[in-house]
Amino acid sequence: MIGLTDFTMAEARDALRARTVSASELTHAFISAIEGARCLNAFVTETPERALDMARQSDTRIARGDARPLEGLPLAIKDLFCTKGVRTTAGSKILNNFVPPYESTVSQNLWDAGAVMLGKTNMDEFAMGSSNETSHFGPVINPWRAGNSNRNLVPGGSSGGSAAAVAGQLCLAATGTDTGGSIRQPAAVSGIVGLKPTYGRCSRWGIVAFASSLDQAGPMTRTVRDAAILLRHMASVDEKDSTSVDVPVADYEEGLDGGVKGLRIGIPKEYRIDGAPPEIEALWHRGAEWLKGQGAEIVDVSLAHTKFALPAYYIVAPAEASSNLARYDGVRYGHRAANTHDLTDLYERSRAEGFGAEVRRRVLVGTYVLSAGYYDAYYVRAQKVRTLIKRDFEQAFETCDVLLTPATPGAAFAIGEKSDDPVSMYLNDVFTVPVNLAGLPAISVPAGLSETGLPLGLQVIGRAFDEATVLRAGRAIEVAAHFGATPKKWWAA
């Protein structure tokens, strides 16, 4: 039997419009699902009363024939988005009790479109991580398990709570943010769709900053169509964010099924990396064949500076983070150490107690690379690399329309498996990071299962502000892949 939580967002929308289900019923179903899945630790804060209140208002509007585009659709919000009156932690102890008196532009856009908030999802602390293990609120558990195993796996990160909530059918869709892969990587290893829009497409106002020149909000959904719908209502130019860009937001759903006939698909040779499992290479190849089968043209391209992307990223992102996180000092809000004896002690202990190990590591790295005497060797050089990577993409897009790559170098791994080795953890983002450095849009679409029965994703990268083509190609993969797999609800047993 199909339950209410089995709906895709588009199906739920249509059901609400047809009044075969009410927003309150739908919301109740998800609240129960969340309650039954607390062992996944996907949510930091649940807001059931607020959700039901919003759902009732949606039902009133639907009854009046006054429904907005996302009317009554229950969503989860990554705990990096400030939500007015609802605790916003960024996964950190230092913001353990922080309740913003303002609403982020992206979430406000969603509420203005009629969506319902179920709660705030768990995440790596300050979005720093690829496994959701750095959260102050504990790791999130991936709804997926390998065949024949009861081992808990990570959902990826940093938007791990959002990924698990969508994959575990605890919400119709969720918001994520992506600085180096934090939407696409968890989407890939959790068997859902994740879209990182072009830098500047969604406002960053009210999103706790990690690395300002890379951070971008995007949708995490069960289908490409849902991503198209949600993106349209997240995106906006915002006078409060100088880096948001005034390019009209299209109705991405409209052209979704336009197909890929005649589309030139670039295959970047540098994305064949040593040590990647053969199944990743095979999946990639299969993806290209699918698109070719639908009339696309496959083109070999080169992104020559790809191998410098990860090192450059791990200079630029920590540098910006070290500065962005300076405001968490225990003076005005957030965690303040007790019994401090002077100002320096207050700073040092509040921050040492408030930040976890990974955040401290990146603040130290960032502080180091910006220091006098090192700035030119690290930060300036990394920015030059960034320019070269951007140029690589521009040149590639002279001969192709989108790029097809694997989303991750492997499937979900076990909790604790990589947490002692930061570098191996950082390698999770090898395919996603260059896209952030270049500010381009990219989607991860579930495309198959690994040998052990875990989801794997393919990534489609597009030209700046060409989310429409990225979604269309993503949809073509989705159609060809017939993915359809969902995790067994072992937690609900």
Is 90 a binder of another protein (CB under 8 A)? yes
DSSP assignment of 212-226 equals: TTT--EEEEESSHHH
Q: Which is nearer to another protein, 10 or 211 (CB)?
A: 211
**Is the peptide bond preceding residue 450 cis, with omega within 30 degrees of 0?**
no
CB of 133 to another protein, least distance (A): 22
Query: CA-CA distance, 122 to 39, in Å (whole number)?
Result: 12
Q: Which of 207, 309, 315, 477 binds another protein (CB under 8 A)?
A: 207
Three-state secondary-structure class, residue 107: helix
Q: Does residue number 343 form part of the binding site for another protein (CB under 8 A)?
A: yes
57-70 as b/e, with b when 16 or more CB fall inside 10 Å?
Answer: bbbebbeeeebbeb
Over its C-alpha atoms, the chain yields an Rg (Å, rounded) of: 21
The strand pair at 173-177 and 217-221 is best described as antiparallel
Residue closer to another protein, measured from CB, 122 or 322: 322
84 contributes a contact to another protein by CB under 8 A: no
Contacts with 15 (C-beta within 8 Å, 6 or more apart), sequence order: 7, 21, 26
Query: In this structure, what are the phi and psi dihedrals at residue 460, rounded to the nearest 5 degrees?
Result: -115, 125
End-to-end CA distance of the chain: 17
- Compute the residue count for the chain: 493
Backbone angles phi and psi of 402, in degrees to 5: -140, 165
Site map 350..389 versus another protein, x via CB under 8 A: -----------------x--xxx--x---x----------
Nearest alpha carbon to residue 39 among 127, 140, 184: 140
The distance of closest approach from Cβ of residue 23 to another protein in the complex, given in angstroms and rounded to an integer, is: 28
Residue 286 amino acid letter: R
- Shortest separation between residue 73's beta carbon and another protein, angstroms: 24
Applying the rule CB under 8 A, the residues between 231 and 260 that interact with another protein are 239-243
Structural contact between residues 191 and 446, judged by C-beta atoms closer than 8 angstroms: yes
Residues whose CB falls within 8 Å of the CB of residue 403, separated by 6 or more in sequence, listed in order: 265, 266, 267, 268, 301, 303, 393, 396, 459, 460, 461, 462
- 285 by Cβ neighbours in 10 Å (0-12 / 13-18 / 19+) ranks as exposed
Q: Which is nearer to another protein, 347 or 491 (CB)?
A: 347
Q: Which is nearer to another protein, 124 or 226 (CB)?
A: 124
137 near another protein, rule: CB under 8 A: no
Choice among 22, 24, 58, 78 that is catalytic = 78
Residue type, 458: L
Q: How far is the CB of 340 from another protein (least distance, A)?
A: 12
Is residue 224 packed enough to be buried (19+ CB in 10 Å), middle (13-18) or exposed (0-12)? buried
Inter-CA distances, 237 with 41, 107, 244, 471, Å: 34, 14, 5, 20
**Should residue 208 be labelled a site residue for another protein when binding is judged by CB under 8 A?**
yes
**Is 244 one of the annotated active-site residues of the chain?**
no
Say whether residue 294 binds another protein (CB under 8 A). Answer: no
Which tokens hold the place of 293? 């089968």
C-beta closer to another protein: residue 303 or 433: 433
CB of residue 177 to another protein, shortest distance in Å:
11
- Answer yes or no whether residue 340 interacts with another protein by CB under 8 A: no
| CA 431 remoteness from chain centre | 14
Q: Closest separation between CB of residue 230 and another protein, Å? A: 20
Interface region with another protein, contact rule CB under 8 A, candidates 137-145, 165-173, 254-262, 319-327: 319-327
427 binds another protein (CB under 8 A): no
The verdict on 47 binding another protein (CB under 8 A) reads no
Is 135 considered catalytic here? no
What is the Cα 364 distance to its own chain's centre? 25
88 binds another protein (CB under 8 A): yes
- Segment interacting with another protein (CB under 8 A) among 5-13, 201-209, 286-294, 454-462: 201-209
Pick between residue 329 and residue 401 the one whose CB is nearest to another protein.
329
CB of 101 to another protein, least distance (A): 7
Catalytic residue among 22, 92, 107, 182: 182
Q: Tell which residue, 174, 172, 220, 164, has the closest CA to residue 7.
A: 172
Binding status of residue 128 toward another protein by CB under 8 A: no
Site size toward another protein (CB under 8 A) is 43
25: three-class secondary structure by DSSP: helix
**Rounded distance between C-alpha atoms, residue 169 and residue 311, angstroms:** 36
| Per CB under 8 A, 320 contacts another protein | yes
Least distance (Å) from another protein to the CB of residue 336?
Answer: 12
Residue 138 structure tokens: 């504990």
Smallest distance from the beta carbon of 371 to another protein, in angstroms?
Answer: 6
Binding region for another protein (CB under 8 A) out of 53-61, 159-167, 203-211, 423-431: 203-211
Which of 22, 58, 104, 158 is labelled catalytic?
158
CB of 110 to another protein, least distance (A): 16
- Give me 178's structure tokens: 């992506």
Should residue 491 be labelled a site residue for another protein when binding is judged by CB under 8 A? Answer: no
Interaction between residue 17 and another protein (CB under 8 A): no
Catalytic annotation on 307? no
Q: Annotated catalytic sites, by residue?
A: 78, 158, 182
Q: Which residues bind another protein (CB under 8 A)?
A: 81-82, 88, 90, 95, 98, 100-102, 104, 204-209, 211-213, 239-243, 319-320, 322-323, 325-327, 329, 331-333, 343, 347, 367, 370-372, 375, 379
